[in-house]
Amino acid sequence: MNSKRIMNTKYILPGVFSLGLALFTACQSEENFGGEGYIQFSGIEIDKTLQTRAADAEQIAVDIKTTDGTVFKHADNWTEIQGESFLVPAGTEYNVTAYSFGKEAAQGFDAEPVYKGEQSVTIKPNEAQTVTVTCKLAQSKVSVTYTDQFKTRFSEYSATVSGNEGFELPFAADETRAAFALVDQPLNVTLTFTPKDGTEARQFTQKITDKAQAACHYIVKFDVDNNGTGNITVSVNQNKTEYEVTLGVPVKPDGLSTIPISADNSKVWGKYAILDGMCSFVEPEAPVQFKYKKSTDAEWQTVAAEKVGATTEYTAKVKALDFGTEYQYKIVCGETEGDVCSFITEEYVEIPNLNFDTWSQSGKNWFANADAADSYWASGNTGVTSFLAGSHDPITEKESEDVVKGSAAKLHTITGITLVGSAAGNLFIGSYSTNMSNPSASVSFGRPYTGARPTKLSGYYKYSPKAINNGSYPGNLTTDECNIYLTVWDANGNQIGFGEFVGKENVAEYTPFSFDVVYSDPTQKAAKITIVATSSHYGGHFEGSKVTGQVGANSTLWIDEFELSYD
């Protein structure tokens, strides 16, 4: 049983319109970061890899909006403004949206394809750049096929794909068309079939995907499974953005099968796992359960199984597992047992100095590492003390007396800094190297990390917020606020996990905080991680070389004894 679970995978989407936007700026001096620049449209091309109806004749409209939503320029057809130049202030951010003119995304066999894309751009002086707006198909496509082996086993059959709010797509046995479906809804398929051996008609329901993706074609192929387990296999043609979802229909009337989860990252974590199995007994005479154990143990543990909707699938979450350990499991119903499958939990990899007890110093600058360098944890200390402000003290320091235990980190915000205007106290996993020409590029967040994906960050903090006295973004603050957050990326650089804490109140004594890390794509492993703490939430918001985020001078954040959870 080589079954796999369907993955919500991020990928580059073909079948798109590509709108080129050339940006040209008027000449400025090195010291002048204001001035004006130009927006000018260049050309458009169509990638026909994922062929859809009427792609050649698609009319693409364009909106250029400021960040407050005001439409600066609109064209019902982008060619109406092709080659035109628009004079705008340098340093201004615009959102460019391209979309199918006069159409809304719809679903069904007769629905028309709709395309949409969006990109943000900031006009920069003294350079030209090109921005591409990618208009991808705004819907999913679904089709159903049947293998020759399937057709030899069943006399009558038809399928229905269903989604949200009563949406149903009926696929008769001879239906060869693909249909459009709206994105972000779960898609399930129900097969009604009559075996040729004369037994009565049966139904088989299975999930296609938890969340339909734009510009993705789900090809549901029905096959037979002689083991009676309802085997599922998934293959992905990345070049055509197609998922081929093969559902093996069990030909035995009843049975149990354990679904392998070892290759499904959304099921196997550091301290827990989500077990899956199938039970096709019409009326189970005993509770459906899972048994599991370490592979080296003799005794099995038992956990109740929960049925997934109206399907024959069952699931259970088992907790308090050990890192990097092989476990075995099987689905059971009374005396009947499914096959034994196994998985290995994610390894524990230590994040150094989470308790902030390790510090070293070089000159004025403190480092939350033992080697007097920004070797794992980093801050903007060297930039503030050496390059940007000369006589300023560092913005991040070791705290030895006011602590939970051991040592702590003290972060404070300063204003009146040469070139950038202000600097928020900060401490983060990553690296820092002062870039005088582009200060916002001095910081690089994250370090390689291949350990178990954390599900929570907790710790202790104190905060003394001050009145806003510098900056304009987001514009609605009167008092400063602190921010602590965690981000996880996959091997392709995509953010897959995020969680944060924002403190708005004065907290005079060390107080616990915690937040959950939410995974937008749990099918991916961790490849990079960062934890960031700052005394001013918006102290890292730049426009050009200036910090325009609202901050309060001398806002101070203390942090101590961070801890990650994995269950």
Domain boundary among 344, 370, 400: 344
Q: Are 451 and 348 in contact (CB under 8 A)?
A: yes
**Same domain membership, residue 419 and residue 378:** yes
**Same domain membership, residue 183 and residue 110:** no
Cis bond before residue 195 (omega within 30° of 0): no
Domain that holds residue 394: 360-565
Q: Going residue by residue through the chain, which has 567 residues, state the pLDDT in tens, using 9 for 90 and above.
A: 333 333 332 222 333 445 555 554 443 333 334 567 777 665 555 444 555 544 456 788 888 888 888 998 898 988 887 767 777 777 888 888 888 899 899 999 999 998 888 888 888 776 655 667 778 888 999 999 998 878 867 778 999 999 998 899 999 999 999 999 999 999 999 999 887 655 678 887 888 888 999 889 999 988 876 554 455 555 545 455 777 877 777 654 457 888 889 989 999 999 999 999 988 776 787 899 999 999 999 999 999 999 988 778 899 999 999 999 999 999 999 989 998 999 999 999 999 999 999 999 999 999 999 999 999 999 999 988 876 545 578 999 999 999 999 999 999 999 988 778 899 999 999 999 888 778 878 899 999 999 999 999 999 999 999 999 999 999 999 999 999 999 999 999 999 999 999 999 999 999 999 999 999 999 999 999 999 999 999 999 988 889 999 999 999 999 999 999 999
DSSP 208-242: EESSPPTT-EEEEEEEEETTSS--EEEEEETTTTE
**Same domain membership, residue 289 and residue 201:** no
Q: What pLDDT shows up at residue 420?
A: 87
Q: What pLDDT shows up at residue 547?
A: 93
**Same domain membership, residue 284 and residue 236:** no
Residue 5 lies inside a defined structural domain of this protein:
no
Q: What pLDDT shows up at residue 205?
A: 83
Residue 312 lies inside a defined structural domain of this protein:
yes
Residue 107's closest CA among 160, 182, 157, 168? 182
Domain boundary among 137, 165, 188: 137
d(CA 412, CA 397): 9
Q: What pLDDT shows up at residue 527?
A: 98
Q: Exposed, middle or buried by CB within 10 Å (0-12, 13-18, 19+), for 386?
A: middle
How many independent structural domains does the chain possess? 4
Q: What pLDDT shows up at residue 21?
A: 57
Q: What pLDDT shows up at residue 4?
A: 31
Residue 44's closest CA among 16, 68, 3? 16
Residue 354 lies inside a defined structural domain of this protein:
no
**Same domain membership, residue 197 and residue 133:** no
**Same domain membership, residue 408 and residue 306:** no
Q: What pLDDT shows up at residue 15?
A: 39
DSSP 39-95: EEEEEEEE--SS--TT-TT--EEEEEEETTS-EEEEESSGGGGBT-EEEEETT-EEE
Q: Which residues pair with 188 in a beta bridge?
A: 162, 207
**Same domain membership, residue 163 and residue 108:** no
Domain boundary among 89, 112, 137: 137
As a whole number of Å, the CA-based R_g of the chain is 29
Q: Which long-range contacts (CB under 8 A, 24 or more apart) does 394-398 make?
A: 394/364, 394/365, 394/366, 395/423, 395/424, 395/425, 395/426, 395/535, 396/366, 396/368, 396/425, 396/426, 396/427, 397/366, 398/359, 398/361, 398/366, 398/368
Residue 7 lies inside a defined structural domain of this protein:
no
Residue 198 lies inside a defined structural domain of this protein:
yes
**Same domain membership, residue 126 and residue 217:** no
Residue 30 lies inside a defined structural domain of this protein:
yes
**Same domain membership, residue 174 and residue 111:** no
**Same domain membership, residue 43 and residue 190:** no
Q: What pLDDT shows up at residue 505?
A: 97
Residue 406 lies inside a defined structural domain of this protein:
yes
How many residues comprise the chain?
567
Query: Tell me, what CATH number does 264's domain have?
Result: 2.60.40.10
**Same domain membership, residue 312 and residue 425:** no
Token digits of residue 528 = 């990079």
Query: Tell me, what CATH number does 545's domain have?
Result: 2.60.120.890
Residue 350 lies inside a defined structural domain of this protein:
no
**Same domain membership, residue 428 and residue 402:** yes
